[in-house]
Structure 1
Amino acid sequence: MKTLTVFALLCAMMALTTAAALSEVKDEHGTVEVIQEGEHHVIERSASCPGGWNLINGRCFLYVPRSMSWARAELNCQSMGANLASVHLAEEYHGIKKMIEDKTHGHPQTWLGGSDAEEEGVWLWNDGTRFSFSYWCRGEPNNDGWQHCIQMSYGDNKCWDDTKCHYHLSSVCAKKI
Structure 2
Amino acid sequence: MAQQKPNMCQDQSIAPSACPRYCNLCPLTCYNCQRMSQNDTCNSTMTCATGEKCLSNLIHSTVDGHDEYTFTCATNDVCDGKAVLAVVIGKRRLHLTSRDAAFSCCSTDLCNNPPTSTYNVASSTSNAPITTTTTTTTTTTTRPPAYCDTSDGYTLLTSNSSTQLCVKLHQSTLEFVDAMSHCQRENARLVVLDTQAKYDLAKPVLKTTHHDHVWVGMQYNKYQNTFIWLNGIHVDANDNRWGSHEPSHPSAEGCVCIDKHDNNGFHNAVCHYHYAYICERKM
TM-score (norm 2): 0.42
Distance 2:250 2:164 in 1: 35
- Return the structure number with greater helix share: 1
- What amino acid sits opposite 1:28 in the alignment? P
- Residue 154 of structure 2 is matched in structure 1 by 53
1:85·1:173 contact (CA, 8 Å) conserved in 2?
yes
Q: Which moved more, 1:166-175 or 1:81-90?
A: 81-90
AA matched with 2:191: A
Match of 2:4 in 1: none
User: What are the superposed Cα offsets for residues 131-161 of structure 1, whole Å, 9 maximum, x if unpaired?
Assistant: 3575111221111670000010243322011
Paired letter, 1:60? C
One of 175, 187, 191 as aligned partner of 1:81: 187
Judging changes above 3 Å, is the alpha-carbon distance between structure 1 residues 89 and 48 closer, same or farther for their aligned structure 2 residues?
A: same
Does residue 29 of structure 1 match 2:145? yes
- Determine if contact 1:58/1:176 at 8 Å carries over to the other structure: no
Segments of structure 1 that go 5 or more residues without pairing to the other structure are 1-25, 31-46
2:197 to 72, 88, 91: 91
Shift of 1:93: 1.4
* Distance verdict in 2 for CA 1:171–1:122, change over 3 Å: same
Contact 1:110 1:151 in 2 (8 A): yes
Identical-pair percentage: 20
Deviation digits for residues 77-112 of structure 1 (CA, Å, limit 9, x no counterpart): 0001111111122232122120231x33x5631000
Residue-pair matches, total: 133
Is the contact made by 2:226 and 2:235 (CA closer than 8 Å) also made in structure 1?
A: no
Judge conservation of contact 1:154–1:160 (CA < 8 Å) in 2: no
1:75 is displaced (CA, Å) by 0.2
Relative contact order (C-alpha < 8 Å, sep 6+): which is higher? 1
> In the TM superposition, what whole-angstrom CA distance separates every residue of 1:40-92 from its partner, at most 9, and x where no partner exists?
xxxxxxx6331321223333111011100000000000001111111122232
Structure 1 residue 131 and structure 2 residue 234: aligned? yes
Determine the C-alpha separation between the residues in 2 that align with 1:92 and 1:158: 13
Match of 1:121 among 225, 231, 234: 225
What is the identity, as a one-letter code, of the residue corresponding to 2:148?
S
Q: Distance in 1 between matches of 2:245 and 2:257?
A: 14
Match of 1:152 in 2: 258
Q: For residues 267 and 194 of structure 2, what CA distance do their matches in structure 1 show?
A: 16
SS of match in other structure, 1:172: strand
